[in-house]
Amino acid sequence: MTIRRVTIVLKPENETKLRKIQAELIRKTNKGKSFSEIINCIIAEGLKHPSSCDE
């Protein structure tokens, strides 16, 4: 798998939600999770249900 660096712009409220998810996963697993790992996980889950972004 090739990893690419990309730049995205997040709404502040979305960054806050992602950081909370990151903190919760770190707390539950007692292992570090990078912000990139969290974003990739959320994107992968969202791609399973793309119609939820029809705004």
What's residue 34's pLDDT? Answer: 95
What's residue 52's pLDDT? Answer: 63
Asked if 25 and 38 count as a contact pair (C-beta separation under 8 A), the reply is: yes
Among residues 33, 37, 39, 44, the alpha carbon closest in space to that of 8 is found at 39
pTM of the model: 0.79
| Residue carrying the six token digits 């992602």 | 18
- Number of Cβ within 10 Å of residue 25's Cβ equals 15
Give average pLDDT by consecutive 10-residue segment, the chain, 55 residues: 91 97 95 95 89 64
